[in-house]
Every structure is written in structure tokens, then in C-alpha cells.
Amino acid sequence: MLFKKKIIVDYLYNKFKLDKVSIFRILEVWKTYLFPNIKLIIFSIIYMMLAAVFEALTIRLLQPIFDEVFISKNINMLYFVGIEVIVISAAKGISTYMQEIKLSKVGLDMVKNMQVSLFSHLMKLDISFFNKKSSGDLLNHFIGDVNIVKEAMLNGVTSLVRDTCTIIFMIFLMFYKNFEMALVTFVLFPIAFYPLIYFGKKIRFMTAKQQMSSGGLYGTLAQSFRGIKIIKSYCIEDKETEKINYNAGIISNISYNMTKINSMLSPLMEFFGGVAVAATLSYGGFRIMQGKLSVGGFMVFLFAIVAAYKPLKNLASLNVKVQMGIAALDRIFGLFDTKPLIIDRDTAIDLNVETGRIEVKNLSFSYINGIEVLHNINFLAEPNKTTAIVGASGSGKSTLISLLLRFYDAEDGNIFIDGKDIKDIKIKSLRKNIAFVSQDVVLFDDTIKNNIIFGKNNVKYEEVEEVAKKAAAHDFIMKKENMYEERVGESGMNLSGGQKQMISIARAMLKNAPILLLDEATSSLDSKSEDMVQKSLEKLMEGRTTIVIAHRLSTIINADKIYVFDNGRIVEEGTHKDLLEQNNYYAKLYKLQFKSNL
């Protein structure tokens, strides 16, 4: 097995001048995404070989057509050859059809499985990865790169099998008909394919650059579509159009340069190929005039050259296609090679929440090295109680929630649930025991019902309706044309901000987790809806450990304990009454909000 692998590696290295990393990536794609369909590939190869055989047989028939029918006027041979042509053409057509549909199935399965594998891998990566990568760039990996790899791989199979077989049979015919003419042809023809080999690496570089630019274009488009209201309200349609024009212009220039190379290749090959054919015609005509070659034999030889030219061209251009595929493969494996930083320890256990006591000890965290967002945080959330976090924007409140959910891991300090360090708990188990409602509501382009039951199975309609009522969402849902089956649109664009927040709260209620995290959960609601939802939240909080981040201090007056954050530090803690009596930072915030509400 190792010997065979070495032979393949050496062949790819010598044939396409690929580095060893690219070669092993190609082999990995074959092993993972193509080998499971090896039976289809084998059948496809068999049909390719049969099609090549029938192609050669068709050309072989030219000799009796010219010598026996056209020159000797043999009527019986005319009927016989006619029947042969029909049978061979039908057989070739069937073989070509079977080869194409089987290889197409292999290609479609490859694209599907590679896209699923890539998505599955991305879902395991940390939040920090998605903060750095644009959605447009990721979409380009899924659509553009995967399809380029598929084309390169399957064109490789087709060229190496069908085109190679066709060439071999044509060469056999040429040498069989006239050994000397075949030698002349094979001295001249290889010159025609040198340009393809020379420009192969340039095409690879341009493909990589084109795909990167496409990712930038997709990202700009996605942002523009998502932010269409802001774009229109600020009247910057022309500015956004300029961005698209710039990105599309880069892609257009690269594509134009690739077109110039490809357009140059074909005339060069045609010219050199024409020289070879002209030499063959001259030599063949001379041999016919000498009486040493029949017209039919010459025509078989000439058509064998013509029939071999296209597969020879495909085989020579395979280098270009492989280089394009390698450029795309490098980008895909760049994602596959990215590993999550936040993973389960080997000794990680499932979380069995007994009381739900959350304790944070000496916690410090930085998104960027050297710039602390949280500094030496000590925090306690008691079971069956509500713990509130308040403070100005950017003080580190939401960061603490992200650390509790292990979206990030802190450099220093620990977080404990029922005395267990969350780093010793399986990540999925941790998050299943936490219901989270964010101020940044995320809804999916699906029905209202499916957005509420998100992440749960076998949920009855009555359960969905019950939590929707508790979240004050039922009334507006029933006014929709399709009620709970109404689609919310991309990012919930068919709903108001308050309606989206209600759906998000209903989702958290249905999850029914023992720990509840509310990150300004009522921030998008009007006063009436806020009062309704606040009462539902108070009922939901019963029997749970609840941590609330609040911008409106009026919503956490009854909290069992309040922590006041300022610049990543806890500057005060206590009940609402205690903090007002201290007359420090919290009291100033409260009085400022109280005045603004007058």
C-alpha cells in the first residue's frame, strides 16, 4: 500500500510539479470524498474505455469506406459498413451517456459531502474565528472553491482515463497504418502543448487571487443586503455601489488576464498543430503518389490524428485545471486545518446541575493581548436568586456572559458551577443547562414556530403556544396571515425589534434550563410589552439561577444582588437599596436614568 502511495505521489510531483503538501491533500480528498463511490468510478472508467474503443473502431471504418466503397464501388461493402457505423455509434453513445451520469453522481456527492464536512468543522470552531472571517468569504469556500476542486478532480479522472485511452488507440492505429508517418507526427505534435504547461502555474496564482477577491465581493454584498435600511436612511446607496464596483472590478481584471492567457493558448496550439498536420499531409500525399499508401489508409491515419488532437489538448490542459483545483484546495484545507482553541478536556464530565450556584474567582480576560476587558472579577450568583449586572457600555458585562457560556476562555481565574470548574465540564453539556437571551436577537429565515422550538425535538404545538403567551408574543403572532407558520424572513426582517425579542424570550422559556442568562432581554420592548414580559420573566426565574444584564435599572430593582461594573472591574455590589444608600456610582446611574424618564 505504501509502495503504491509513493508511486502516486512521485507521478503527481513529476507530472504537475506539485509540492508534497498539495499532493497529500489531493490524496486525502480522494480517500474521503471519492473512494466511497469507487464502484461508480470504476464503472465510469469502464464506460470511458469502451467509448474510446468505439471511437477507434469508427475511424478504422474509414479505410473500407474510401478504398472499397468510394474507389472500388463495392455495393455490398457499403451496406455492411453502414450497419457497422450505426451499431458502433449507438454503442459509443450509450457508453458516453453511462460514463457521464455515473461521474456526475460522483461529483454531486463529492460537493455535498465536502460542504457538509466543511460546515460541520466550522460549527466546532470558536466564536473568535467567526469574528475574523467574513460571511462572504466563507460562502465562497462553500460554493466556489468546492466546485473548482470537484471540476479539477473529475476532469483529472476523465482526462487520465478516457482521453489517455483514446490517444493510445489512435496511436496504435497510426503506427499500425504507417510506422514512418507516425514517427514524423510524434516528433512535431508535442511542441503544440508546451504553452499549456508553461502557463499552468500562472493560472494557479490567478485562481487563488480571484477566489480571494470573490470572497470580498460576497462579503460586501451580504453586508449591504443585511444593512439595506441603514444604507437607505443615510442615503449612501451610491457609496455602497462604488464598493461593489471596486470589488467586482478586481475580479473582472483578474478574469480578463486569465482569459488572455487561455485565449493565447488555443491559437498557439492550433498553429503548432497545423504545422504537424501539414507535415503529415505532405508526407502522406508523397507516399500515395508513390503508390505505397492507399487513400483509405491515409484517411484513417489523418482522422486518427484529428481524433487524438482534442484528447491530447485536454490532457495537456489538465495541468491548468489541476493548478486551479490546488489553489481552491489550499483555501479549503486552510479552514480544515484551523483547530478550535476551546475544546473538551479528556477528563471532561457532563454537568448535572444540583443547585446552580455560580462562582467566579479572580477572573481576568483580554480579547487582544495586553488590553484587559475584565480584571480580577469575583462574582457569586446564588441558586434560586436573581443576580444583576449593571454598568456603562463597554464595561465588560456581556463579556462575562460569553465566558460563562465558554464562547471564550479566560487567561486567569476560574468559573465554577456547583463547585465544578466549567473547563472540566463538556461544552455541550454546559450550554444545554443554560438558557440565553441576548440583546442582539438572532432569528433564522424559518417559521415563527421553528424559531421558538429551535434546538428542541418533539415539541407539541400547545407548548409553543404556552411559552409564546408567557413571552407576550401570542397576540401579535395570531395577527399574522399564517400565524405560527409565518416566516420571519432573513434575520427576522419581517418582525419589529420588540417582536423579535419576544420570540427570543419564548425560545429561552421553552428550553427550560436551570440557569438563565438575560443580556438586556427587554431592551427592544415598549413599556407595555416590557411590563408583560417582565412578569413572565419573573415567573421563569423561579427555581433558577438567573443572571441579568440590565441597561434599564428599573428592571432589576428587586434583584437579590447587584454587581456594578466599570472599565472591567467590579466597583460596587449589594441590593438596590444598599447601593442607593452608598450614594456612589450606582446611585448616580440610577438618578441619571430617573431624571431622563421624567
Q: Render 491-523 in DSSP notation, one character per residue.
A: GGTTS-HHHHHHHHHHHHHHH--SEEEEESTTT
pLDDT at 423 over 90: yes
Q: What is the pLDDT of residue 595?
A: 57
Q: Each residue of 495-523: pLDDT tens digit?
A: 887 788 888 888 888 888 899 998 877 76
- Confidence grade of residue 149 (pLDDT, cut at 50, 70, 90): confident
pLDDT at 6 over 90: no
SS3 223: helix
SS3 290: coil
Contact residues for 416 (Cβ-Cβ < 8 A; gap 6+): 357, 358, 359, 360, 361, 422
- Confidence grade of residue 145 (pLDDT, cut at 50, 70, 90): confident
Q: What is the pLDDT of residue 235?
A: 66
Share of the chain above pLDDT 90, in %: 11
Q: What is the mean pLDDT of the chain?
A: 79
Q: Are residues 221 and 136 in contact, defined by beta-carbon separation less than 8 angstroms?
A: yes
Q: Each residue of 27-40: pLDDT tens digit?
A: 888 888 888 888 98
Q: What residues does 517 pair with on adjacent strands?
A: 436, 547
SS3 375: strand
Task: Give the sheet arrangement for strand 420-421, strand by strand.
Answer: 371-381, 358-368, 412-417, 420-421
376/215: higher pLDDT: 376
74/591: higher pLDDT: 591
- Confidence grade of residue 415 (pLDDT, cut at 50, 70, 90): very high
In the block, which residue shows the cell 473582472? Answer: 252
The per-residue DSSP string of 431-459 comes to HHTEEEE-SS----SSBHHHHHSTT-SS-
pLDDT at 8 over 50: yes
Other C-beta atoms closer than 10 Å to the C-beta of 584 total 13
Share of the chain above pLDDT 70, in %: 79
The per-residue DSSP string of 51-88 comes to HHHHHHHHHHTHHHIIIIIIIT--HHHHHHHHHHHHHH
pTM given for the model: 0.74
Mean pLDDT of 262-291: 70
Mean pLDDT of 145-155: 83
Q: What is the pLDDT of residue 598?
A: 41
> In the structure grid, which three cell numbers stand for residue 547, read together?
443572571
In the block, which residue shows the cell 482526462? Answer: 159
Other C-beta atoms closer than 10 Å to the C-beta of 151 total 15
Q: What is the pLDDT of residue 18?
A: 61
